[in-house]
């Protein structure tokens, strides 16, 4: 759980901005999605290989 201490002279907008930045740095959203949607290691590896093949074709073609 993320905790943001709001200072007395700080506006709520500034505190919200700090919260959003902290949330993004912790990569909480990505971790929740990763845990929610488990992907088998073999499937993950297959996606990596297919992506590498696609990028190789994309950047090594003439034209």
pLDDT digits over 10-45, tens only?
898 999 999 888 888 888 888 888 899 988 999 999
| 53 domain residue, yes or no | yes
Q: How many domains does the chain have?
A: 1
| 1 domain residue, yes or no | no
Residue 29 pLDDT: 80
| 6 domain residue, yes or no | no
Q: Which residues fall within 8 angstroms of residue 12, CB to CB, at 6 or more apart?
A: 6
Q: pTM here?
A: 0.46
Residue 31 pLDDT: 86
Residue 44 pLDDT: 94
| 3 domain residue, yes or no | no
Which DSSP string corresponds to 1-63? ----PPPTT--HHHHHHHHHHHHHHHTHHHHHHHHHS---HHHHHHHHHHHHHHHHHHHHS--
Instruction: Provide the domain limits for residue 40.
Output: 12-60
Residue 26 pLDDT: 84
């Amino acid at each position: 759980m993320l905790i943001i201490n709001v200072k007395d002279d700080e506006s709520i907008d500034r505190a919200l901005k700090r919260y959003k930045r902290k949330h993004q740095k912790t990569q909480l959203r990505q971790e929740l999605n990763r845990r929610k949607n488990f992907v088998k290691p073999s499937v993950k590896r297959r996606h990596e290989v297919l992506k590498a093949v696609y990028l190789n074709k994309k950047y090594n073609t003439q034209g």
